[in-house]
Structure 1
Amino acid sequence: MIFKSLVEYYERLAAQGKVPAFGLTQEKIGYCILLDRHGKVQDIISLSDPSDKKSKWAMLTVPASFKRSGTAPPPFFLWDKTAFVLGVEHKKDSDVPTLNIRSHGVFKALHLERLADATDDGLVALRKFIEEWIPDQWQQCEAIVKHGPAIFGANIVFRLDGEQEYIHERAAAQELIKRYSATDDSPLGLCLVSGETRPIARLHPAIKGVWGAQSSGASIVSFNLDAFDSYGKDRGANAPVSVHAAFAYTTALNYLLLRDPHHRQCVQIGDASVVFWAEAKNQEEQEAAEDFFSCALEPPYNDPSAVAKLQSALDLVAEGRGINDLNALLDPASRIFVLGLSPNASRLSVRFWFTERLDVFTKRLADHYNDLSIKPAPWKTQPNQWRLLSSIAAHDKTENISPWLAGSLARSILSGQCYPRSLSSSIISRIRSDGQVTGMRVAICKAALSRNRRLEPKNNPTEVPVSFDPDNREPGYLFGRLFAMLESIQEVALGEVNSSIKDRYYASASAVPQRVFRLLLNGVVHHVSRGRKGPKRNLILSLDQKMREIVFLINGNFPRSLSVEQQSWFALGYYHQYQVRFNSSTKKDDAENSPDEDTENEQ
């Protein structure tokens, strides 16, 4: 199903001219050698973008690459790395370029064989260059020396001086590419993707761009050891996929995995590189569906207009209306495909795979953002999954994000199922570890509670509040509110202290309330007594009254321990209650903090 969908997507992209035809591929090319008609080097041109300091290459369509292994790997046709083209490379353990006569030898042998009968000016010039080039004399070529060590290790193409097209783009070169891309020597078999009898690929092309995988590429289908063979079948024959289908699905994946600001069909979630594409009635609706899904899955925070459109679409879904009310090109029936890939040594693991209508995915994403909704909101725009996961990770570092948790969270959002049970426990553990009850963390706790109650309403009748709810009677919520009131009273009575009750007791109060709250309630008596004698007497009395109202609702029922679910309620109640005080207007705060004249006269 995955390969079939990718092959169909490749056919649509090829018809639109976005991906290379069979036998070609897109590669990162760093330099172009400019030759005259006698094969002499006129210049070497860098293909990097001069306006971008980070640019080191350009994406060009060249003859297809393949996996290389062994002590004498085969070369690519009409292009390759400097180790093959020039016989010079720059190794990591060496400060100076070193010769690679063996690689250049196989490059030279291949091209002298294939270009022996060439009559095209460009191909003849290339053949003469290869015949005359001596690797150990590279330092005598000023065109190479001027680029310094940066050129060694880059991919190289060729161009004839005075012409615009590269040599591999010339008509004669294209004929050679087609001839040597033929699959007559591949065994025939039944392709599992197309169901047709076609030449079967022994090795599949490499998939590049998956974060954490080998830079040279990795494979979804690979049988590289004898132990993987069965019933006398060798390599790719164990899972027969035609040469054309293997080329198509890998080309489509490499296109989707491009990391480009203008190409947003790949999102990184934990260790999973998540790609998505659409199937619609026409190209315009396909692109509209992909752009919309990209914004919904990974909101573009640097584009306020796009965020506003996304919010409008989510509001429409919440109202039960169609997303085509926002954009006529958005067809709710368009089908979206989502594939998550994770590195696994030289292979790739399929972390998850989903396919649904656009309106179904939109509803699931809207539910996710609605579950996260909390007031006061700790963000200006809806948080993406990276921001959520970073709030769970130690020291807020992405490298500390659990790959399993990241994949499980993405799967829950895309499938509309309950969040992983470890999500809430991970948040609680982080809060207990560093004492930071941030809005982002509380929102995740609230989201897990909301989703469980929406999917299992019979077992969870209480609605999870978005904003402060004084009528909520969940035990954890009341304990969290009470703890926030105790902290506020201490803060008003004593001012800034080295260690507040939050710093010392939050973790234990949220886990074992019976052991902690009696101690805290005894201590708050002294805080109230001290505060009544200070300039903030009215504020202390108001806080004390509200605290007593919460204690009355609890009615002395302090359990020995709270479950993870109730600890999530505790965090939510604490956040809501503590934020209420700081959301009031400045004038109201000033009025509460100043003693009234009658009280001063009595004293």
Structure 2
Amino acid sequence: MILQALYDYYQRKAANPDPARRLPAFGLEDKEIPFIVELTAEGRPLGIIDTRQGDGKKKQARRYQVPKGVKRSSGVAANLLWDTAEYALGVDTKGKPERVAGQHAAFRQRIAELPEAARRDAGILALDNFYANFGQAALVADPGWPEIVETNPVVTFRLHNDGDLICQRPAVIAGRGGVIEEGGKPNFCLVTGQAASAERLHTAIKGVWGAQSSGATLVSFNLDAFASYNKEQGDNAPVSPLAAFAYTTALNHLLDRNSRQRIQVGDASTVFWAQKDDAEIEEGFAAIFGERDDPDVRAEQVRALLGAVHSGQFDGGRGDKLFYVLGLAPNAARVSVRFWHTAPLHEIARQIRQWFTDLKVVRSAKDPEYPSLFRLLAACAQQGKADNIPPNLGGDIMRAILSGSPFPASWLNAAVLRCRAEQNVTYLRAAAIKASLNRLQRFQPNQSLDKELSDMLDLENTSPAYRLGRLFAALEKIQEEASPGLNATIRERYYGAASSTPVAVFTTLLRLKNHHLAKLTNRGRAINFERLLGEIMSGLNDFPKHLSLPEQGRFALGYYHQRQDFFSKSESSQSMQSTQGESK
């Protein structure tokens, strides 16, 4: 199913009328070519053209559609009319003259094997003359030569005043079919269902975070155990050369660093695409779950997508089209599938709306309205570092979002542990806890009498854990007003114990409360605090000896909601005083 969906995506993109957005035809690939040697018709080099743009290490070479590169291991294998400087120019960059001589000979041999019609092309004749009469010695004085010797970049050739590279000239493109490597034994392709030979080795997939820079394979068999029944390499899962080219080209396109259809979810490089062209949902999906340089632009994209869902734009024919999400993770020299989800667009849109509903919690103006999945994961990781996010967590959460199933218990556990370890319930952790608990309650309603948590302070919530969280926030607020300017409050010392073993600390905290109330100079304020404490504790019979993990999450939400309620009332009071002052 994965390969078939990628194959169909390739067919659609290869037929795009816009050449800039069209995927390369069979036997070609998109390749960044940083340097081009420009030749006259007689083969005399006019100079080395640098195609890169940008500054410093951010320079990026222009992309060209060139004959598909060979799959290399440790041997010598040359690409057709483009390759590294060692192959294309015979430049010894590593002090291995004999090996470089073999590489350059292999490069020229690929050209010699072209059909006669291609060999008579003006570009090929010019290149033959360059090798016969000039060679690399004619390029030594060029300003770009030192960098070529130092870095061994990819190099190709072009005739002067010709818009195409030599490898793109019509005669060469027509003739390359005669030198494309053929597949293996006759078979049936598992992707297309048509009779075809099986591709022995599939092209490497590049762009998967954490995988080898040279790429890793999605389909691969290279152990003796896979040679049973006289089947070797690709014969174990026969995919035709055309289908293998299509799915690898499509996947590498989706994983490209400039792709708008990829995000990083934990250790999973995640790509997504629609069955039919739908830029709004494809780019909107990246905005929903990924990070953007401009958070305001991201928020607008998310808001627009949610508005489209609410207005029913995904109902009917558009919503029936399938949407695909594929998560890939590195596994040595291979790529493993972390998750794969396919569903109609209207179902994906509904689950996305539910995701943000589950996350919604009262926040300050500086907190993002629609937090990205990466930020939610990092908030629950040790030291807030992406490296400390558990490997499978991002993929498990993404799977739960798209399927509407409960979130993994490890996410709730991570959020609660971070709150305890840092004695701080942040907006992102509160959102993660609320989403986890509500999703769990929705799917397991008979396990508890607790109801779903609201996005702001809920005075009707009788959950003991939730009320204990509110009580702890109220006791902290009393201490803060009794002793302004404190470097540390009861939160730094008691939050961990209060949220896990309430009976051990709340008696002590209530005794301290009496001392703090006595220090308040505003007696009306002290009375209001006493009333608040009475209202909170009216639903508590005693202090529990232990709170379970979900109860610790409810404690954190009760604490967070009560604190935010204090802040909002304080800001409202200050705003009212400011308004009254201006009116005098």
Moved beyond 6 Å, runs of 4+: 96-99
Paired position in structure 2 for 1:54? 58
Paired position in structure 2 for 1:12? 12
Q: Could you say if the C-alpha distance between residues 305 and 341 of structure 1 is closer, same or farther in structure 2, counting changes exceeding 3 Å? A: closer
Q: What is the rounded CA distance, in whole Å, between the counterparts of 1:465 and 1:66 in structure 2? A: 58
Per-residue Cα deviation, 1:252-284 (whole angstroms, up to 9, x for no partner)? 101111121xx411111111111111113xx4x
Q: Of the candidates 443, 454, 466, which is equivalent to residue 465 of structure 1?
A: 454
TM-score by length of 1: 0.88
Q: What is the rounded CA distance, in whole Å, between the counterparts of 2:515 and 2:576 in structure 1? A: 24
Deviation at 1:300, TM superposition (A): 5.0
Q: What is the rounded CA distance, in whole Å, between the counterparts of 1:355 and 1:588 in structure 2? A: 50
Q: Could you say if the C-alpha distance between residues 178 and 303 of structure 1 is closer, same or farther in structure 2, counting changes exceeding 3 Å? A: farther
Residue 356 of structure 2 corresponds to residue 366 of structure 1: no
User: Structure 1 regions of 5+ residues with no counterpart?
Assistant: 593-603
Q: What is the rounded CA distance, in whole Å, between the counterparts of 2:461 and 2:97 in structure 1? A: 72
When structure 1 is superposed on structure 2, of 332-341 and 476-485 the one drifting more is 332-341
Conservation of the 8 A alpha-carbon contact between 1:88 and 1:152: no
Conservation of the 8 A alpha-carbon contact between 1:49 and 1:56: yes
Per-residue Cα deviation, 1:34-62 (whole angstroms, up to 9, x for no partner)? 11223232100011125897123111100
When structure 1 is superposed on structure 2, of 199-208 and 459-468 the one drifting more is 459-468
Q: Of the candidates 539, 550, 561, which is equivalent to residue 536 of structure 2?
A: 550
Paired position in structure 2 for 1:492? 481
Give the 5 Å matches for 1:93-492. 100-114=100-114, 118-132=119-133, 137=137, 141-143=140-142, 145-146=144-145, 148=147, 152-181=151-180, 183=182, 186-260=184-258, 263-280=259-276, 283=277, 286-298=278-290, 302=294, 304=296, 307-308=299-300, 310-314=302-306, 317=309, 321-324=311-314, 331-376=318-363, 379-461=367-449, 462-492=451-481
Paired position in structure 1 for 2:80? 77
Conservation of the 8 A alpha-carbon contact between 2:291 and 2:374: no
Deviation at 1:291, TM superposition (A): 3.2
Per-residue Cα deviation, 1:172-229 (whole angstroms, up to 9, x for no partner)? 111221221263x632111111122102101011111111111111111111232332
Q: Give the residue type in structure 2 aligned to 1:277.
A: W
Q: What is the rounded CA distance, in whole Å, between the counterparts of 1:415 and 1:188 in structure 2? A: 40
What is the Cα-based RMSD across aligned positions, in Å? 2.7
User: Structure 2 regions of 5+ residues with no counterpart?
Assistant: 578-584
Number of residue pairs aligned between Structure 1 and Structure 2: 570
Q: What is the rounded CA distance, in whole Å, between the counterparts of 1:464 and 1:249 in structure 2? A: 44
Paired position in structure 1 for 2:30? 26
Q: What SS does the aligned partner of 1:492 have?
A: helix
When structure 1 is superposed on structure 2, of 105-114 and 479-488 the one drifting more is 105-114
Deviation at 1:293, TM superposition (A): 3.5
TM-score by length of 2: 0.91
Q: Give the residue type in structure 2 aligned to 1:107.
A: F
Q: Could you say if the C-alpha distance between residues 119 and 312 of structure 1 is closer, same or farther in structure 2, counting changes exceeding 3 Å? A: closer
Conservation of the 8 A alpha-carbon contact between 1:48 and 1:57: yes
Per-residue Cα deviation, 1:498-530 (whole angstroms, up to 9, x for no partner)? 331100010111000000111111111111112
Q: What SS does the aligned partner of 1:142 have?
A: coil
Conservation of the 8 A alpha-carbon contact between 2:358 and 2:435: yes
Q: What SS does the aligned partner of 1:525 have?
A: helix
Q: Could you say if the C-alpha distance between residues 222 and 485 of structure 1 is closer, same or farther in structure 2, counting changes exceeding 3 Å? A: same
Deviation at 1:315, TM superposition (A): 5.1
Q: Of the candidates 584, 589, 594, which is equivalent to residue 569 of structure 2?
A: 584
Q: What is the rounded CA distance, in whole Å, between the counterparts of 1:342 and 1:297 in structure 2? A: 17
Q: Could you say if the C-alpha distance between residues 89 and 217 of structure 1 is closer, same or farther in structure 2, counting changes exceeding 3 Å? A: farther
Q: What is the rounded CA distance, in whole Å, between the counterparts of 1:498 and 1:310 in structure 2? A: 39
Conservation of the 8 A alpha-carbon contact between 1:115 and 1:127: no
Q: Could you say if the C-alpha distance between residues 218 and 132 of structure 1 is closer, same or farther in structure 2, counting changes exceeding 3 Å? A: farther
Conservation of the 8 A alpha-carbon contact between 1:277 and 1:338: yes
Q: What SS does the aligned partner of 2:447 have?
A: coil
Conservation of the 8 A alpha-carbon contact between 2:314 and 2:345: no
Deviation at 1:433, TM superposition (A): 1.6
Conservation of the 8 A alpha-carbon contact between 1:313 and 1:323: no
Q: What SS does the aligned partner of 1:143 have?
A: coil
Conservation of the 8 A alpha-carbon contact between 2:407 and 2:439: yes
Conservation of the 8 A alpha-carbon contact between 2:289 and 2:372: yes
Deviation at 1:376, TM superposition (A): 2.8
Q: Of the candidates 40, 44, 48, which is equivalent to residue 36 of structure 1?
A: 40
Conservation of the 8 A alpha-carbon contact between 1:33 and 1:158: yes
